[in-house]
Structure 1
């Protein structure tokens, strides 16, 4: 039975295991990505993430605590200067394990373990996917705006034509009225002449 065996001893004594994990954690902090076996990566993840969480509070006590676990001044300064600023808004889950296959010699399962905020390829792909989604939304809005603008132009074009059509009709009515007035005046003149001739004959 496997009771009370939560810790993977990695086939090492306590001091050897502590030295191995401190070495690997320092390499991960300095290089941001290392290749190792899957068993070691799982143990390293549990070992290094609490140290990264402690780096969020930049105090003398937290520096000494981290240094007692790592034993590397360069790794401690890198952790508190650069990495702590990048992971300030991340509430845990600072590392990622990517399986890469099996080792040729002994068939051990290999993997990469890396800091999440330093994988530029994955960050770029995430940003591109977000930009594509926003572009689609903006395109729809632009299409709607263009359609509204076209409708406004059509309305503007139709209104002047209606005005232009109305103006000639008014002129035609004026011409008809003038013609009818001239005809009426001519008729009245002819009637007056006839009356004068009748009076003269009497």
Structure 2
């Protein structure tokens, strides 16, 4: 029985599972994001986050401990150099898992696991959102017939576009006035062709 056993074996033997997690951790450190199944991504997060925490303390003992898990000198060098600087003031939560849907072949749930501090698109969007205020762009309701101005939010410069005054629409004439021509007009060419036929 597996009472209280929270390890997902991922359908592999112990040695195969450890080798797979080791290779995935090296790839994550090297490329900063990898695409895999959701179950593997969750297990990789448990495997790699303690190693990133260990890399904050750059000592010989920490390097040897991390090397015993990764067995890759370049990955250890990247982890203790570049990554440790970026996560120095973060207290855990170094990775992010984004679900991507299901895979076409076997319908497995696919996910993207990435290092949080390396997603530049999300980091810039968070900075832009924090600078905005909660005020409305419109100052309130305008009087009827006045000109309206619209501002376009552009990062380089704000442009103000003025629109023409709102025109009032004239009422539509009756159907009889629009359809029937007056008596003074000459008949159309189509009307003559119809009389001859």
Alignment TM-score, normalising by the size of structure 1: 0.65
* Map of 2:76 onto structure 1: 76
Structure 1 CA distance for aligned equivalents of residues 69 and 16 of structure 2: 13
**Divergent runs of 4+, >6 A:** none
How far off is 1:31 after superposition?
0.3
- Measure the CA separation in 1 of the matches of 2:79 and 2:2: 36
Inter-partner Cα distance in structure 1 for 2:57 and 2:129: 33
In structure 2, the residue matched to 1:56 is 56
Query: Do structure 1's residue 26 and structure 2's residue 19 form an aligned pair?
Result: no
Partner of 1:45: 45
Cα distance in 2 for residues equivalent to 1:130 and 1:71: 41
1:156 maps to which residue?
none
1:36 matches 2:36:
yes
Q: List runs of 5+ in structure 1 lacking aligned partners.
A: 137-202
Task: Give 1:5 deviation, angstroms.
Answer: 2.7
* Alpha-carbon distance in 1 for matches of 2:133, 2:61: 45
Q: Deviations over 1:84-103 (max 9, x none)?
A: 00000000000000000101
Q: Corresponding residue for 1:132?
A: 132
CA distance in 1, matches of 2:133, 2:2: 49
Compute the displacement of 1:106 (Å): 0.5
Structure (1/2) with the larger helix percentage: 1
Largest Rg, 1 or 2: 1
State the TM-score, normalized to the length of structure 2.
Answer: 0.66
Instruction: Name the structure 2 match of 1:97.
Output: 97
Deviation (angstroms), 1:13 = 0.8
Aligned to 1:157: none
Deviation per CA, 1:33-58: give whole Å up to 9, x if none: 00000000000000000000000000
* Whole-angstrom distance in 2 between the partners of 1:68 and 1:21: 13
Q: What's the secondary structure of 2:35's corresponding residue?
A: strand
1:2 CA drift (Å): 5.3
Structure 1 residue matching 2:132: 3-state secondary structure = helix
The separation in 1 between residues aligned to 2:99 and 2:85, in whole angstroms, is 28
- Unpaired runs of at least 5, structure 2: 136-197
Higher strand share: 2
- How far, CA to CA, are the matches of 1:93 and 1:125 in structure 2? 19
Do residues 15 (structure 1) and 15 (structure 2) align? yes
Distance 1:98 1:123 in 2: 15
